[in-house]
């Protein structure tokens, strides 16, 4: 099956264990089910892209080179479980910078849309914070709030309205699979 849609994934708390501003390669640890979910999306033929706010760079807690090394480690861990990402886009700015790439703004999603010629109305955004959900809504994508990372607190706060609330990335991927099966 070929998927003309795109799946945008938050990184921290969605793919890997939330570490509050992950700043070392050693801290990169995949969440249970994350590789399974990404592998299922890969099997569907969907482009899978990470979109991640990384203010730890702007605050000096992590160099751009270290951020690249952390992301390479994530890719290696996923590959060891048969899962792959098509791209990783990160916003290295602080919230005060007012950039267009920091979620809930849609700059990272737009970058992915242009690179992969995606149709956002047929795409998905998965994350654990309202900023992820709001970016997805603003772009016209279907949104999934995962209960991993900050997701359970986000759900309880009720400050954003995702299309779906799921336990984890594997659950989101299974739901996306069902949606694609109904609307090829």
Residues belonging to the active site: 10, 12
The conformation of residue 30, written as its DSSP 8-state character, comes to B
Q: How many other CB atoms sit within 10 Å of the CB of residue 124? A: 26
Closest CA to 44 of 1, 9, 87: 1
> Could you give the angle at which helices 107-116 and 130-139 cross, rounded to 10 degrees?
50
Give the integer Cα–Cα distance in Å for 184 and 146: 24
């Amino acid at each position: 099956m070929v998927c003309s849609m795109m799946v945008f994934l938050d990184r921290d708390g969605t793919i890997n264990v939330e570490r509050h501003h992950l700043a070392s390669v050693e801290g990169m640890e995949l969440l249970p089910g994350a590789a399974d979910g990404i592998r299922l999306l890969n099997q569907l033929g969907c482009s899978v892209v990470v979109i991640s706010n990384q203010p730890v760079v702007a605050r000096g807690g992590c160099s751009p080179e270290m951020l690249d090394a952390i992301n390479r480690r994530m890719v290696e861990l996923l590959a060891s479980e048969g899962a792959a990402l098509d791209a990783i886009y990160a916003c290295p700015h602080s919230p005060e910078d007012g950039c267009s790439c920091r979620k809930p703004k849609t700059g990272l999603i737009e970058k992915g849309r242009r690179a992969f010629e995606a149709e956002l109305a047929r795409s998905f955004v998965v994350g654990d914070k309202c900023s992820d959900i709001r970016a997805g809504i603003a772009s016209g994508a279907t949104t999934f709030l995962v209960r991993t990372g900050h997701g359970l607190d986000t759900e309880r706060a009720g400050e954003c309205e995702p299309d779906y609330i799921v336990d984890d990335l594997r659950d989101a991927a299974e739901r996306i699979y069902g949606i694609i099966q109904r609307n090829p």
